[in-house]
Amino acid sequence: MTKHLTGWTRRAGRLRRRDFLARLTAATLVFVVLFVFLERVVGFDSTLALYPPYFAVLASLFTRRLHDQARSAWWLLVPIIPVLGPVVLAWRLLLTRGTHGANQYGDDPRLRGYDYLQVAIHEPA
């Protein structure tokens, strides 16, 4: 089922911090541009149609970022805790590094494209 979904709404796999921030910025920019356009052309009520797809994209990005740290999507409920919850989730999403190597959610995205048959040549001491 996930084979036909794009990288924006797919919830499987892992996402590096750099890719997460780039996709989050792009999605937010598209949302803001469409919001302003629809508000000026059609009216404020028409902008309500933008929220479900935007939240779906955010859920996908947040889930994949948590998967990179070997955490489940249940961590998205942490912001329910007043004040500290959103801070903890932002810390996890933006500042915490992903697990090194493969985890239960997939291969390490930092190692994609690297040759696994690298040979190190050392000079004898």
The amino acid present at 97, given as its one-letter code, is R
| 78-84: average pLDDT | 93
pLDDT greater than 90 at residue 87: yes
**60, 8 Cβ separation under 8 angstroms:** yes
Encode burial over 73-108: b for 16+ CB neighbours within 10 A, e otherwise. Answer: eebbebeeeeeeeeeebeebbeeeebbeeebebeeb
By the 10 Å C-beta count (0-12 exposed, 13-18 middle, 19+ buried), 65 is classed as: buried
pLDDT value, residue 2: 44
Under the banding of pLDDT at 50, 70 and 90, the label for residue 5 is very low
Spatial contact of 16 and 67, defined as CB atoms under 8 Å apart: no
Domain spans, the chain: 17-111
Using a pLDDT cut of 90, give the percent of the chain over it: 54
Q: Summarize pLDDT for 26-40 with one digit per residue, the tens.
A: 999 999 999 999 999
**Which pLDDT tens digit goes with each residue over 47-71?**
999 999 999 999 999 999 999 898 9
Residues in the chain: 125
The pair of three-digit structure tokens given for residue 111, joined into one six-digit string: 């190692």
pTM: 0.76
- Write down the pLDDT at residue 110: 75
Residue 49: predicted pLDDT? 94
Query: How far apart are the C-alpha atoms of 27 and 39, rounded to whole Å?
Result: 18
At 28 the pLDDT is: 97
Cβ-count burial of 4 within 10 angstroms (0-12 exposed, 13-18 middle, 19+ buried)? exposed
